[in-house]
Structure formats: C-alpha cells, structure tokens
Amino acid sequence: MFDLSRVGKLIKKYRINADMTQMELAERMGVSFQAVSSWERSETMPDISRLVELGEIFQVSVDEILDHQEKTSTVKRLINPQDEEISIKELEELEGIIKPSDISKYKLKIGSMEEIEYIITFVGRDMATELVESNKDLINSIYDMNAVAPFISRELMDNIV
C-alpha cells in the first residue's frame, strides 16, 4: 500500500506551489474541498483517474505525486490498461484508489478460488458472474459454490450445480 502521509504532503506542496486554495483545486477537479482536505491530511487517497488529473493540474507525473513508491508502476499500468494481465494481488494492494466500476477495464489474472472470493466481493453481480463463469474450473466443492453463490446469477449457479 502507498504511504498516504507522503502522498498527502506532496499534494499539499504541489497545490501551494500552484498558488491554489483547497477550494480552488476542488472546483477545478469537480470534487468537494473536503475531499482535497482529506487527501492532504492523509486520510484518503485520490482514485486513479484523479491522480492523472492532479498531475495535469500541477504539471507533474503520477510518479512524482506518488513519490516514486514501489507500487507506482502498477498504478501506471492501471491508468493505461493494455493487454497484459493484472493480478488480483496487485488490485488488492491498490484497493483504496480503484473504483469497483473500473475493474472491468482490466484483464484479470485469476489462479485460485481465494482470488475469486476476494474479487467478487468488490465488483457487481454482472462482473462477478462473468468472472466465475470464466473460472468455473476452480470451483471444486460445495464450499466453493457456497462462497460464490450470493454474488452470481441464478442461471450460472444452476449451470454449475
């Protein structure tokens, strides 16, 4: 996970260097000034699309906003999804900055029932159904079926059973 304290301090530094108030930055980004304040106090972190927007406003790279931390390369891959697969572990580590609705943009690499159980709690029923359908070979027991049943369509559940 990212060091929120470092990111928050940098957002504040870049905002001050741009001679902007929290309210001005918030208006420019279409968020509340409380959101900007929360970022700067290191309580929350902007989602991925906001990181790109902050970089454009402050004329710095996402790398610089994230202070070149370890997960920056993963964030860059998520900002510009290509054909390469994203592991569930990578998504899990960045959970606080990825919207569930954005997960459908990525080609997910799923290798275990535990990964399916994790990701289906984070996405909607349609995507959960799609993920389980394409990985149903990982469902090997009634316990596995029990874990996914509340998140998938009735039709798929009947099909698997």
Residue 71 is predicted with a pLDDT of 65
- Rounded CA separation 79/97 (Å): 11
Considering 66, 81, 107, which residue would you say is the last residue of a domain? Answer: 66
Measured at the alpha carbon of residue 32, what is the angle toward residues 26 and 33, in degrees to the nearest 5?
Answer: 65
Contact 125, 153 (CB under 8 A): yes
User: Is the per-residue pLDDT at 126 higher than 90?
Assistant: no
Considering 66, 91, 112, which residue would you say is the last residue of a domain? Answer: 66
User: Is the per-residue pLDDT at 99 higher than 80?
Assistant: no
For residue 87, report the phi and psi dihedrals to the nearest 5 degrees: -80, 155
Range of the domain at 112: 72-160
Whether residue 88 sits in one domain with residue 52: no
Q: Which residue has the higher pLDDT, 9 or 87?
A: 9
For residue 68, report the phi and psi dihedrals to the nearest 5 degrees: 55, 40
pLDDT digits (tens, 9 = 90+) for 106-125: 778 888 889 888 888 888 88
pTM for the whole thing? Answer: 0.56
Q: Which residue has the higher pLDDT, 83 or 132?
A: 132
For residue 35, report the phi and psi dihedrals to the nearest 5 degrees: -65, -45
**Angle, in degrees to the nearest 10, between helices 113-120 and 125-134:** 170
Whether residue 151 sits in one domain with residue 117: yes
Whether residue 88 sits in one domain with residue 153: yes
pLDDT digits (tens, 9 = 90+) for 19-58: 999 999 999 999 999 999 999 998 988 887 788 899 999 9
| Weakest mean pLDDT among 8-17, 54-63, 66-75, 138-147 | 66-75
Task: Please tell me the total count of domains within the chain.
Answer: 2
Q: Which are the contacts of 38, defined by CB distance < 8 A and separation ≥ 6?
A: 44
Whether residue 122 sits in one domain with residue 99: yes
Whether residue 84 sits in one domain with residue 40: no
User: Is the per-residue pLDDT at 69 higher than 70?
Assistant: no
CATH code of 52's domain:
1.10.260.40
Mean pLDDT across the chain: 84
Q: Is 129 exposed, middle or buried (0-12, 13-18, 19+ CB in 10 A)?
A: buried
pLDDT over 70, % of the chain: 85
